[in-house]
Amino acid sequence: MTFYDRLKTLVVESKKSFNQVERELGYPRNALANYRLGKQPSARRLSELADFFDVSDEYLLEKSNDRDHKKIQKLFNKLNDTNRQAVLDFIQNKLNEQEISEVGYTTVTITSFIYRGDYVWQQGRLDSKVDIPSAQVPDEYDIVIEPVGSDFFTEVKDGDLLFIKYDHKVDPNEVGGFIFNHEKFVRIVTSGGRLLYVHQDNPDFKHYVEENHADEKEFPESVIVNIFHTRTRSWEKVEH
């Protein structure tokens, strides 16, 4: 398609004739029709035609197929600051949706571990889910946890996700505890049904181990495979 072909398409779509466009722009008769011979317009005339048809210079010269760019920019410039931000937020949301559909995401279930003080963590939500790029999800992991409110997990911040793998297969509902960073946690269930994990530095740790008939030798070793930083949506591979 030549410059003239693209110009002709715009003239036809505007439901006007070449002569009518020439009159409205103040051009001599047949000034536009002469471009069918392959002549290129001057920079000034190119800009005038682009403004007239609400397209970019690049579109007329076939350097771009984005014919609506200029129109969108003109409309955007008419918005006040509040509405401009609303439009930008809308576009970002649509881009995120598009990325999900194009890249392919995997939904993972998250278990929250909420610090309650005195070296005690409470297991929180079991139904929280998040979408993560499929290509970046570790090949092997047993549980995804979200530590909340403690600096014990020194590698992460609140909101980050830890992909954990046990050193052997276990049933999380049956195991009496686990080992993390070479430190032990015993699993207890309160009378109110809360699920707690008590760290070995808690003064009552041994009491809970005995009360729950937990065998510390059977505690699985937990290893962080990857960390997903939700704020930056970036990955950190943990070396062991």
CA dist 205 and 16 (Å) reads: 86
Instruction: Look at residue 194 in the predicted model and tell me its pLDDT.
Output: 87
CA dist 96 and 182 (Å) reads: 39
Sign, Cα dihedral of 133, 139, 143, 147:
negative
Instruction: Look at residue 239 in the predicted model and tell me its pLDDT.
Output: 65
CA dist 47 and 17 (Å) reads: 20
Alpha carbons within 13 A on the beta-carbon side of 93 = 6
Please report where in the chains the tokens 């729950």 appear, as a residue: 212
CA dist 10 and 4 (Å) reads: 10
- From 6-10, 20-24, 156-160, the region with the lowest mean pLDDT: 156-160
**Strands 120-123 and 195-199, how do they pair?**
antiparallel
Instruction: Look at residue 151 in the predicted model and tell me its pLDDT.
Output: 66
- The predicted-structure confidence for 40-93, as pLDDT tens digits, reads as follows 888 899 889 988 988 888 888 878 777 777 777 788 888 899 998 998 989 988
Instruction: Look at residue 184 in the predicted model and tell me its pLDDT.
Output: 93
The CA-based dihedral angle spanning residues 160, 120, 183, 237, taken in that order and rounded to the nearest 10 degrees: 0
Structural domain 3-77, CATH architecture: Orthogonal Bundle (1.10)
pTM value is: 0.54
Average pLDDT for 150-168: 77
13 neighbors 21 (Cβ within 8 angstroms):
no
Higher pLDDT, 207 or 234: 207
Higher pLDDT, 18 or 153: 18
- The predicted-structure confidence for 214-238, as pLDDT tens digits, reads as follows 888 889 988 888 888 777 777 777 7
105 neighbors 133 (Cβ within 8 angstroms):
yes
- The predicted-structure confidence for 87-120, as pLDDT tens digits, reads as follows 898 998 888 777 767 777 888 888 888 888 999 9
Please report where in the chains the tokens 């946690």 appear, as a residue: 185
Using alpha carbons, select from 221, 167, 225, 177 the residue that is nearest to residue 199. Answer: 177
Integer CA distances (angstroms), 155 to 121, 145, 199, 227, in order: 17, 13, 18, 8
What tokens appear for 226 in the block? 């990857």
Phi first, then psi: what are they for 153, rounded to 5°?
-85, 80
Instruction: Look at residue 125 in the predicted model and tell me its pLDDT.
Output: 67
Residues 6+ apart with CB under 8 A from 120: 196, 197, 198, 199, 202
66 neighbors 56 (Cβ within 8 angstroms):
yes
Q: Domain extents for the chain?
A: 3-77, 106-237
Asked whether the predicted pLDDT for residue 126 surpasses 70, the reply is no
CA dist 239 and 222 (Å) reads: 14
Average pLDDT for 185-213: 91
